[in-house]
Structure 1
Amino acid sequence: MSAAVSTYIPTVLPTEGRLGHLTPEQTETLKQFWAQLYDVFNGKTPIDQTVPSSFKGQAREVEGDDASAAPAAPAQKPGWFSRGKSASETSTAPAAPRFTGQDLQKAFWKLTMMDHPDVLVLKYIRARKWILADALKMFINCLKWRIVERMDELIQLSDQELDAKYPKFIEQMRMGKGYLRGADPHGRPMSVINTRFHFKGDQPAETIHRFTLHTMECGRMVVPEGTENVIVLFDLSDFGLQNMDWGFVRLFVQCFESYFP
């Protein structure tokens, strides 16, 4: 009796546009990206102060402890004694920018951590089809988004501290709603999402928002050297309409589209 012939075809990871496999043109684009990025960090290039959104159509609000996020006071009409003076004499000092080059540079190195900087930025360049201006805009928006979303606290605070700040945070972990477990044959970490455990009204919206970002950030941090991706597995067993949460879906899609390429 002959043995069954396996039809399994092993996956071949792409190498085009990856570090160590760049063409001369791609290498030049990478060099130009770094030059323009440091022009932003050093204040030579003005920074768009627009706050990026967490998902399309809804901008995130920054907590009150961020002084730069406070709304600007309404402009006051000039008084009687200010008549005849120029606008420059009567106007107040311009508001400090929300994002500075130094802020973005700090956010960049906190994002990089143990990753190879070239490997990191090449993800954004490939995501924008090697169009330098689009890739730089995407990367700057990612850094601004990480500042607004306070991504540092998801790394620095313990689970207990996050649970105290965001009620039922640990409960999301204990019920197995989302977790990292194992890796595929190529060493890519696997993130499992059990949709049947999610009910929109069972926890505050901010808690599931932070838990989602925490899971994404943990997945990014455990990617081993030589691997650039995380496998996301949605378990739709026993999934029903009561488990559907469009806010979560929009957040998830927007993050992978714009901030975790």
Structure 2
Amino acid sequence: MAIMVGMIIMLGLAIMDKSHKQQGNNAMLLNLFATRVQGIRKSWWLFGITGGLIAACTSLGLIAGDPVSLNLLSQQKYLEAGIAATAVAIGFLSLVGTTAITTGLYSPAGMKFVFVAGIFISTGFLGDRFGALTPILAFIAGFATIACEVLILSQLAIFLDKFPGVKACGDHIRACTTKVLEIALLIGGAMAAQAISPQLGFFWVAGFYLLNKVSKKPLVEMAIGPIAAISLGIFVNILYVLGLY
């Protein structure tokens, strides 16, 4: 419930925020790339099928749209998972919309709201009241969701121009989600390295992190923890074979 209240407050503040000035960027893009938007609209039923399949698989617990909701689903916290998936979808709202307008390509999962439909129309959330019909209902909801996304793509772009705070909110959500994953993977890599070599593990990962920071061609920060832990495991095994560890 606390997550839901926070979500409502966040959206309310984002809609009221007018400090992020925009000069009709999305409307200008629509004028420039109108033919590409029309091309996406012509294939709305194909996107609807993919969205329906994604929602159905999500309702069956086979997939999830992001690690946060996946973790919550594993704990059977379906309401929290749905709210988290909604927040992630808002985060990708402007990114997916702008990319679709400028490139003429649309993601099979759309703006990620199909995952929200799949979570809220699942046996875990609704119980057994619909039985075997649950994935079918999720398919219909996913089909309708992504079809609506495609058909109102132009209106959505204009909406984001009118409420720039929503776009900024989405950008911050997306950035925060990425940063949380980076920190989690880094700490997880450090813990794994510490388990491999209690004397060296933490410092090995810290060294990798600092070297990556000063490198001219740094790696993606999400990869630092896992790569450091794997490399330490290889290094320790080599030392063990040589009888040095």
TM-score (normalizing by structure 2) = 0.24
Which structure shows the higher helix fraction?
2
Higher RCO, 1 or 2 (CA under 8 Å, sep at least 6)? 2
User: Structure 1 or 2: larger strand share?
Assistant: 1
